[in-house]
């Protein structure tokens, strides 16, 4: 066990009561009214017309990609991301084409994307790294519109983040969120959602989520006495009612979650701003960061690995998010000659520090003191 873990899930008694209410009714633990309530709450919070709850962000992304039909087509995406982003493209029958990222928010670089567009390109998928909407999301929107492409936003890490007043995912053809245990809000461990302003895409993804089934009008699957119609093969990607109830309760308290995270980030910023060798996650003008992660970047891999070992030895859990996907076995075998300088540089120099709402200020100070100690020792050794 670590003295200071990378995250702890945050909950309130109202979250617990929401779960108990579902359990106590002894029915509709699956496909209950809590699902639609959560979806309504998401649309109200994000300002996007349609939302679907899923059992994970990955299943939401896969369903969205299947809904837009990327089979035998290319989807341009970052290599500097969690592997689910590219895996979902491949599982949907498409080809993940990696582009490089920009150095500010680590989203897709517009020039790199433009150079990757071919007649086979169907869509562009950017990510919102660590809780900050991609710096170039509007430029990517314009590029996609110019080329007749769809824009997808893997916003797994950015629920609660905004850019120029618009919530993450607002400018995309569809976006997905994750409600895993380490996210800004969680669906009791695992969960996800897809948002879109496209009604047809929403309907297709909804059918894919539950076996391709069309429910009897006005009734849920477990309320009807007749068999339903099934339009095409689908999956069981449904979010259980307990998880939806928990997530809705968390969403009602999201302002507190965000405030706590931002206070932790401010403390890191105040303590570490005087270290010139650390690049801190400062959002661009007009961006509101939700700080799902607090990731710093160092000048080189040697310093990053040294600081990582120094913190781990002191009982502080830190992570290296992410190693570029084109260095992973499956994608490396498909793209053995691919070079993406910024993604590779970031993969070797980023370090994610502990970040969660219940992180105490004295714990933040302790982490920062260890970081300062490391740099003092490194300076003396030169």
CATH of the domain at 218: 3.40.640.10
Q: Are residues 321 and 214 in the same domain?
A: no
Query: DSSP states of 281-336 as a string?
Result: -PPPTTEE---S-EEEE-SSHHHHHHHHHHHHHTTB--B-----GGGSHHHHHH-T
User: 263 with 248, same domain?
Assistant: no
Predicted pLDDT of residue 117: 99
Residue 3 lies in a domain: no
What's the pLDDT score for residue 283?
A: 96
Domain-embedded: residue 184: yes
Residue 214, pLDDT score: 86
Which range marks the domain in which residue 269 is found?
Answer: 255-381
In the sheet with 150-154, reading across from the earlier edge strand, the strands are: 50-54, 192-196, 174-178, 150-154, 121-127, 74-78, 95-99
Q: How many CA atoms lie within 13 A of 158 on its CB side?
A: 31
247, part of any domain: yes
1 inside domain: no
**Rounded CA gap, 131 and 156, in Å?**
8
What confidence score (pLDDT) does residue 215 get?
80
pLDDT for the residue 224: 64
| 155 and 277 in a common domain | no
Residues 41-60 have pLDDT tens digits of 999 999 999 999 999 999 99
Same domain, 245 and 304: no
Predicted confidence (pLDDT) per residue in 170-221, tens digit: 999 999 999 999 999 999 999 999 999 999 999 999 999 999 988 866 666 6
Q: Residue range 108-134: average pLDDT?
A: 99
End-to-end CA distance of the chain: 34
**Do 267 and 242 lie in a common domain?**
no
Domain membership of residue 6 (yes or no) is no
Q: What's the pLDDT tens digit per position in 265-276?
A: 999 999 999 999
- Please indicate, yes or no, whether residues 105 and 29 belong to a single structural domain of this protein: yes
Q: Which of 16-20, 180-184, 228-232, 299-303 has the lowest mean pLDDT?
A: 228-232
From the candidates 122, 183, 204, 206, which is the catalytic residue?
183
From 187, 218, 252, give the residue that closes a domain.
Answer: 252
Question: What gap in Å lies between CA 22 and CA 229, rounded to an integer?
Answer: 28
- pLDDT tens digit sequence for 5-27: 999 999 999 999 999 999 999 88
- pLDDT (0 to 100) of residue 216: 64
* Of 328, 319, 331, 324, the residue nearest 347 (C-alpha): 324
Query: Are 286 and 168 in a shared domain?
Result: no
| Same-domain status, 122 and 204 | yes
**Does residue 238 sit in the same domain as residue 315?**
no
Cβ partners under 8 Å of residue 337, min gap 6: none
* φ and ψ of 375, to 5 deg: -70, -35
Residue 8 lies in a domain: no
Banded model confidence at residue 147, pLDDT cuts 50, 70, 90? very high
Instruction: Report, as an integer, the average pLDDT of 240-269.
Output: 99
Task: Return the pLDDT at 296.
Answer: 99
Q: Say if 211 falls within a structural domain.
A: yes
DSSP 348-359: HHEEEEP--TT-
Residue 238: inside a domain:
yes
pLDDT for the residue numbered 218: 63
Total domain count for the chain? 2
| 229 band by pLDDT with thresholds 50, 70 and 90 | confident
How far is the C-alpha of 328 from the C-alpha of 323, rounded, in Å? 8
CA nearest neighbour of 64 among 191, 229, 177, 214: 177
Do 233 and 363 lie in one domain? The reply is no
Q: Is the separation of the CB atoms in 51 and 39 below 8 Å?
A: yes
Tell me the C-alpha distance between 156 and 181, whole Å.
12
141: part of which helix (H) or strand (E)? Answer: helix 137-147
Let me know the angle formed at the C-alpha of 380 by 378 and 382, rounded to the nearest 5 degrees: 75
At how many degrees (to 10) do helices 301-313 and 361-381 cross?
Answer: 130
DSSP state, residue 185 = S
- Find out whether 129 and 105 touch, Cβ atoms under 8 Å: yes
> Judging by DSSP bridges, how do beta strands 294-297 and 350-353 pair with one another?
antiparallel
Q: Please state whether the peptide bond connecting residue 27 to the residue before it is cis, i.e. omega within 30 degrees of 0.
A: no
H or E element that contains 113: helix 110-116
Q: Mean pLDDT over residues 315-337, rounded?
A: 98
Answer with the one of 230, 252, 274 that is the final residue of a domain: 252
Encode pLDDT of 72-108 as tens digits: 999 999 999 999 999 999 999 999 999 999 999 999 9
Whether 183 is catalytic is yes
Pairing of strands 166-167, 174-178: unpaired
Residues 238 and 323 in one domain: no
Residues 101 and 71 in one domain: yes
For residue 360, the domain's CATH number is: 3.90.1150.10
How far is Cα of residue 256 from the mean position of the Cα atoms in its chain? 20
Greatest pairwise CA separation for the chain in angstroms: 77
Listed as own residue / partner, the contacts of 14-20 with beta carbons closer than 8 Å and 24 or more positions apart are 14/249, 14/252, 14/253, 15/246, 15/249, 15/250, 15/253, 17/249, 18/245, 18/246, 18/248, 18/249, 19/188, 19/242, 19/245, 19/246
């Amino acid at each position: 066990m670590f003295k200071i873990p990378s995250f702890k899930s945050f909950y309130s008694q109202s979250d617990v009561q929401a779960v108990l209410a579902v359990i106590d009714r002894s029915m509709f633990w699956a496909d209950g009214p809590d699902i639609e309530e959560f979806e309504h709450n998401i649309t109200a919070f994000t300002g996007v017309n349609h939302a679907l709850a899923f059992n994970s962000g990955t299943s939401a992304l896969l369903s969205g990609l299947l809904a837009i039909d990327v089979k035998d087509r290319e989807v341009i995406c970052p290599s500097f991301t969690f592997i689910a982003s590219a895996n979902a493209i491949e599982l949907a029958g498409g080809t993940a084409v990696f582009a490089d990222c920009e150095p500010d928010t680590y989203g897709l670089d517009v020039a790199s994307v433009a150079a990757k567009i071919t007649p086979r390109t169907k869509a562009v998928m950017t990510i919102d790294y660590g809780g900050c909407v991609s710096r170039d999301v509007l430029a990517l929107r314009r590029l996609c519109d110019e080329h007749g492409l769809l824009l997808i936003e893997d916003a797994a890490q950015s629920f609660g983040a905004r850019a120029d007043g618009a919530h993450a995912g607002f400018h995309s053809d569809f976006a997905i969120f994750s409600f895993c245990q380490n996210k800004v809000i969680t669906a009791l461990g695992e969960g996800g959602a897809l948002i879109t302003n496209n009604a047809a895409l929403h309907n297709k993804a909804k059918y894919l989520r539950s076996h391709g089934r069309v429910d009897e009008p006005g009734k849920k699957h477990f309320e009807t006495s007749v068999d339903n119609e099934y339009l095409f093969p689908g999956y069981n990607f449904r979010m259980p009612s307990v998880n939806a109830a928990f997530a809705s309760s968390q969403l009602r308290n999201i302002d507190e979650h965000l405030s706590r995270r931002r206070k932790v980030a401010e403390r890191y910023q105040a303590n570490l701003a005087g270290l010139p060798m650390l690049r801190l996650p400062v959002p661009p003008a007009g961006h509101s960061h939700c700080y799902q992660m607090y990731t710093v970047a160092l000048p080189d891999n040697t310093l990053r690995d040294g600081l990582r070992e120094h913190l781990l030895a002191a009982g502080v859990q830190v992570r290296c998010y992410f190693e570029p996907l084109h260095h992973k076995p499956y994608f490396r075998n498909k793209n053995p000659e691919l070079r993406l300088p910024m993604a590779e540089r970031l993969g070797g120099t980023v370090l994610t520090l502990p970040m969660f709402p219940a992180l105490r200020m004295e714990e933040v100070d302790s982490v920062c003191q260890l970081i300062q100690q490391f740099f003092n020792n490194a300076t003396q050794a030169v």
